[in-house]
Structure 1
């Protein structure tokens, strides 16, 4: 009953506005007979007369005017809500909620986000650092930067790049420790580890694969802190080649065991909970993807 009434409310409003069944039917895109029949059924269900009808005029009864007054307000609010949602999806402004590991910001995404803020000043960013993966199906974020391959199938994922770390040390450290020749030599050197990877370093050189169980001298949740201690000569660390390249060229870092990679090969993905994105989120996603395009 209530659902039928809600379906008929727009008809009631349009007839009252046009004061004509034929004009109202044209505006609604339905036949005059269909409109008249549905209004009569509405009156029958409610047990009241809503319109006075004659050959020239259609006027609201007192009950019809009362109902229109209440329902007109409801329709206005529904229209406002509809327009608000549509505008929210279409306008290039508002808030984009982003989640990532801190070290992704330091090592990969700082410039990307700063460039986005400069290009779209009407779009706000809310950036949350998490030290563990989030479930985008329930988390209060629009997008998340996720490392690894275990992502729920229902989510929308865009791969940005693949990270493969290598071993590095500062010349300051190599003044005190001999250059390692095999992965097992790392047991004799202080090591700096990223906490989420732990102290088991899988190493491979194409034909061999070994796992080195290091005893961390230093353990951090931030890649940037690992790099700071690495540059200061406090230990050996795994670092992404692109991140280490400037320091390696400047002589501040030396790559160890150059035939071996660190083994922690993993993808960095941009993850969304839906393909239906507001304009502000779509602009953010497109900006990020453009920065990492091949």
Structure 2
């Protein structure tokens, strides 16, 4: 039986990641010639060319692009297997890369990470905050936190807790334009859009009735906090998670509308790459965040009810 050339696959993944034979060689700690020979060996084995090479530019062929994600997964799983074996004989240590939404990340993830690092001095955290959807595998993240109604995915998803989403507007807007009593009426109003999830808003009432509307309005942005000034100014209606708007509602600056209708399925999810192999340091972070945010969401729900 002929075994796959795992070294060549790993070097191929490194070249794709670093976009250069020389940079990949430096990252691995081998010569450029060694990397070049490995790529040539893999191309001969596969019977196809993986890169277009010129003196100034290196780019993937169609075949190379089709295989790049698989190569990245091979490298990721091999690293995870080695890390797991090392971690089994020692306390968790090393780098864990985490992606999280901006507002939730600043308010909740960053404090949680501070507490985690205090208890695990051998672990380092690289926390990146963005409301754009992260490609966990391609961008090399170990964990991504997402607040969404997640579609089917090859990634491993753990639902941590439901997130209440509220439809809100300023009293001045409602006084000028009226208060919607049914989700269908939102189509007649100025509604702010979330750039990373532009589309239909789905609702379900306490009685089980479902309704959908495709809103439109004067503002689209990729961050919920960025909607607040326009909301306070009475320029429209937005649908935002409770941790962004509850303080605004409590102060009277914003008013919740359609309180008997909820956006079904929205929850905080912890996403990881598809491989079941994870280093102990990643498992430690996952366990900590899962417990931290379960308690957090329970506390937020209790506070809202109270």
Residue 91 (structure 1) shift: 3.4
User: Which residue is 1:254 aligned to?
Assistant: 255
Scaled by the length of structure 1, the TM-score of the pair is 0.60
Distance in 2 (alpha carbons) for counterparts of 1:268 and 1:247: 21
User: Which residue is 1:200 aligned to?
Assistant: 200
Residue 218 (structure 1) shift: 0.6
Residue 275 (structure 1) shift: 4.2
User: Which residue is 1:3 aligned to?
Assistant: none
Residue 173 (structure 1) shift: 2.4
User: Which residue is 1:224 aligned to?
Assistant: 225
User: Which residue is 1:287 aligned to?
Assistant: 288
User: Which residue is 1:235 aligned to?
Assistant: 236
Residue 231 (structure 1) shift: 3.4
Q: Which runs of 4+ in 1 moved over 4 A?
A: 82-85
Query: Kindly tell me: are residues 204 and 282 of structure 1, through their superposed partners in 2, closer, same or farther at Cα, counting changes over 3 Å?
Result: closer
**Greater C-alpha radius of gyration:** 1
User: Which residue is 1:131 aligned to?
Assistant: 132
Tell me whether 1:268 sits opposite 2:268 in the alignment: yes
Segments of 5+ residues of structure 1 without an aligned counterpart are 1-81
Alignment of 1:136-151 (within 5 A): 136=137, 139-146=139-146, 147-151=148-152
User: Over residues 134-174 of structure 1, what are the superposed CA-to-partner deviations in whole Å (9 max), with x where a residue is unaligned?
Assistant: 254x5412112244333545x54322112342211122323
Query: Kindly tell me: are residues 140 and 83 of structure 1, through their superposed partners in 2, closer, same or farther at Cα, counting changes over 3 Å?
Result: closer
Distance in 2 (alpha carbons) for counterparts of 1:269 and 1:195: 20
Alignment of 1:1-294 (within 5 A): 86=86, 90-106=90-106, 108-128=108-128, 129=130, 131-136=132-137, 139-146=139-146, 147-152=148-153, 155-205=155-205, 206-261=207-262, 263=263, 265-273=265-273, 274-293=275-294
Residue 237 (structure 1) shift: 0.6
Across the aligned residues of Structure 1 and Structure 2, the Cα RMSD in angstroms comes to 3.1
Distance in 1 (alpha carbons) for counterparts of 2:83 and 2:256: 58
Matched residue count:
210
Segments of 5+ residues of structure 2 without an aligned counterpart are 1-81, 296-306
Scaled by the length of structure 2, the TM-score of the pair is 0.58
